[in-house]
A and B are shown apart, each in its own frame.
Chain A
Amino acid sequence: MSTMSENYEDKDIEKLIFGGGLASGAIEPSEKFWNRAYEDILQRENRTSLNHISSWRGAFFFAGTIALLLGSYVIYMHSEVSDIKQQLTKFENTQVNTGQQNANQTTATNTTEKSSGNTILSSTNTATTQQTNERKAITSATTFTGKQNRTTSYNSTTSSGHTITSSAPPLVNLASNGNTNQSNINSSTANLTEEVTDVNNPGTQETTAAAIVSTTSNTPLPDAKNPTSLSNKVAIDAPADRTTTTPIANIPSPQNKLSPAQTNKTPLITKKTDSAATESILDSTNSVYTPKKRISFAGILSKISVSAFYAPGATEDFLRDKDNDPTNTITAHVLKTQQDGDGTYAVGIRLAYDISRKWSIQTGAYYSEYTYNINPTIIYPQQQENGQIGYSITTSSGTVFLPNSLVPAKLGDSIKVRGSSSRGYISIPLQAKYKFKTGAKLNLYADGGFSVNIAKDRQTTIHWDNTALQEGDLSVESIYGLTTVQYSYNFGLGAEYLMGKGLSIYVEPFVDGSFTSINKNTPVITYPYFFGMALGITYHF
């Protein structure tokens, strides 16, 4: 026979006593319990339905926002396209009218100059006419004694294998002298140098033309010794690349026609005689030539912009139990009921560098503060790590220990606390920005990237009271478990309105979400999300 007194500390005795009856017993719950259980099930189902509705509502809101943005963009694009179409139609009408005028005037000029015994080359906007004129100009062995008129048009390719490239103005008076033709080109806006090469006889048909373009003003002739005065070039190249970028030609008015003396002043510029100068001209005047990119401080500065912004918003914590241990008294669910988010904001500066017309990279620094209300909660003292008994509040940021000196604690007692807790971060973002719509006044863009967030401020302010009618306020500036550095991603859609003088304002809804938790060694792991609306002003250097 064994007794408890023989094995006093052996818990198996109690198991032996109670094991049969108390370890695996069962008691049927009362009717009241089942009624409550049924109500609970109904409430749960209703809540689930509401959650579904809430989710759908959120999805519809999001889809509606996207649709609204897209719709705005489509309308904006439609209006832009309409404007372009109108301009194009207007331009085409102008072109047609000008072409008809040219044709009439060319006919008149041909008649006049044929009668004077000169060879006259004319061209209209049409490729056929131009081809004829060029062929006449190149293959002609006749010495010019008079004037030779030729007009060129934009982007025309002749079937004879010539390319004429120029951004220069309209009328070209070409003086040809055997296989080598040189003309002075002069216009109200630019001077023109033209090289004409006969593909059929490239060795001999090299012409540098400095033609004087007739205008209403008598602009001086370009000086061959001062090639920088020539700012445009017409080139007739190999057959494979025959385009003309010369604008629509204007037939000179009689008072602007060159006198024979002026016409006979050729050659003014000869590539063979002054090749260095000509190359310099080519470099500086060729419209298809791409200028060398020079890195200068002013160039870099012009791509930089600086912004200041303020972003009110709301925050939402995604909470997760650290180890899914159901025996934990502090769980994500409990925390959600104990606290709710309060006002949140971010303020800072942003630097952007334009790496292309559409793309920019951004960085900067901003301060953000997240504040939570702690709902009235009853807490009980616990033994702390230092062995003392004390109160502590678990928040989504971490654990806040209340000092014994301010809140006396003893086992079995409890206090009710309420207040707020906040944490502040200094963040350094690195983002890419893409302008998917650039306009004269309005830019639409999207940006996104990552941020390094450094915890700066942390403060918990509470009011407490207990059953002994004691109460007090205190502020604690440490949160146990809150990590110092945390990383987040962010993205947003924005609209920028250009006000002029380098200033613009913008509005940008954005989301900043954590991909690392903000705390460790806490029963609940927190991933905060910040939904903000940035309002900022930008200065473009």
Chain B
Amino acid sequence: MLYKQFAAKMLFVCCRYTTNREEAEDILQEGFVNIFEKLSQFKFEGSLEGWVRRIMVNKAIEHYRKTSKIFPLLDIEDVQDELVDVNDVQSNIASAELLEMIQSLPPMYKMVFNLYIFEDMNHKEIGERLGIVEGTSKSNLFHARMLLRKKLNHSLIAAKKNEYHERKL
């Protein structure tokens, strides 16, 4: 029942923290193992989905810490502070494409970005969870945003070019 109820939603969550689907399914599998072991500890004080989600995120962090051996280096010289129209993003870019953009971020940026944006953690909490200092978390978030903005702009430009060509035709 738990599998059927939450597998699809949680796989989507896991995908945000990984680079591909297989890796996300591994995390999902480990997360469900953890859920079954800790199910007796769930006290129905919050939503079950929130509790399951926290476990999945926790597993994703654990997975990241096990697999990420190299501290990510960033070359941000080519990243520019480009303008992005929110309405354009929502109308022209599919969620799958957005997910791919996040997945393509360097592991550390991806982790910080996800925890900060989707899990509502502050930099202090992120630092504690990932074993980094607060300043590093802020820096990683900044760089993640820059990279995403660039990717979004490129995607928008490509989308508009396609639209232009379609009209011309």
- Residues of A participating in the B interface, judged by any CB pair closer than 8 Å: 1-5, 8, 11, 13-18, 20-30, 32-34, 36-37, 40, 44, 321, 324, 326-329, 331, 333, 378, 380-383, 387, 389, 410-414, 467
Contacts and interface: CB of A to CB of B under 8 A. Distances in A.
Contact of A327 (B7, B54, B86, B113): B54
A34 B85 CA distance: 40
6 contacts: A4-B83, A11-B117, A27-B21, A327-B58, A414-B66, A414-B69
A333 B7 contact: no
A26 B131 contact: no
Nearest to A37: B3
Interface of B: 3, 7-9, 11-12, 15-16, 21, 25, 28-29, 32-34, 36-38, 41, 43, 51, 54-55, 57-58, 61-62, 65-66, 68-71, 81-87, 89-90, 94-95, 98-99, 102, 113, 116-118, 127-129, 131-133, 136, 145, 149, 152
A152 B16 CA distance: 106
A12 B41 CA distance: 33
Given A4-B83, A21-B94, A22-B99, A37 B11 contact: no
A28 B8 contact: yes
Contacts of A412: 68-71
A14 B90 CA distance: 11
A380 B65 contact: yes
Given A29-B25, A383-B128, A326 B145 contact: no
Contacts of B87: 1
A14 B114 CA distance: 10
Contacts of B28: 29, 33
Contact of B8 (A15, A29, A380, A381): A29
Contacts of A33: 7, 11, 25, 28-29
A520 to B, nearest CB: 20
B125 to A, nearest CB: 10
Contact of A18 (B21, B58, B84, B117): B117
For the residues of B in contact with A, the DSSP-based class is helix
Contacts of B129: 327
Given A21-B94, A22-B99, A32-B25, A329 B36 contact: no
A26 B69 contact: no
Contacts of B43: 324
A32 B149 CA distance: 35
Nearest to B51: A326
A33 to B, nearest CB: 5
Given A1-B85, A27-B11, A412-B69, A40 B33 contact: yes
B133 A383 contact: yes
A15 B117 contact: yes
A467 B66 CA distance: 13
Contacts of A321: 41
B37 A333 contact: yes
A40 B29 contact: yes
**Max chain B CB contacts within 10 Å: which of A13, A16, A22, A32?**
A22
Contacts of A411: 71, 131-132, 136
Given A21-B94, A326-B34, A328-B58, 16 more contacts: A22-B95, A22-B98, A24-B9, A25-B95, A28-B11, A29-B7, A29-B8, A29-B25, A33-B11, A33-B28, A44-B36, A326-B51, A333-B38, A382-B131, A383-B128, A413-B69
A381 B131 contact: yes
B95 A37 contact: no
A440 B134 CA distance: 76
B131 A326 contact: no
Nearest to A387: B133
A536 B147 CA distance: 73
A26 B71 contact: no
A2 B85 CA distance: 7
A377 to B, nearest CB: 11
Given A21-B98, A33-B29, A40-B29, A326 B8 contact: no
Contact of A329 (B62, B82, B116): B62
Contacts of B69: 412-414, 467
B99 A25 contact: yes
A66 to B, nearest CB: 31
A274 to B, nearest CB: 86
Contacts of A8: 81
Contact of A37 (B29, B38, B51): B29
A324 B42 CA distance: 8
Contacts of A34: 3
A26 B8 contact: yes
Contacts of A383: 127-128, 131-133
Nearest to A327: B58
A328 B3 CA distance: 22
Contacts of A29: 7-8, 11, 25, 28
Closest 10 CB pairs of A and B: A21-B95, A412-B71, A26-B8, A382-B131, A25-B12, A324-B41, A33-B25, A327-B58, A3-B83, A27-B11
A287 B33 CA distance: 79
A20 B95 contact: yes
A329 B62 CA distance: 7
Contacts of B89: 17
Given A33-B28, A411-B131, A22 B16 contact: yes
B28 to A, nearest CB: 7
Contacts of B9: 24-26
B41 A14 contact: no
Nearest to B11: A27
Contacts of A22: 12, 16, 95, 98-99, 102, 118
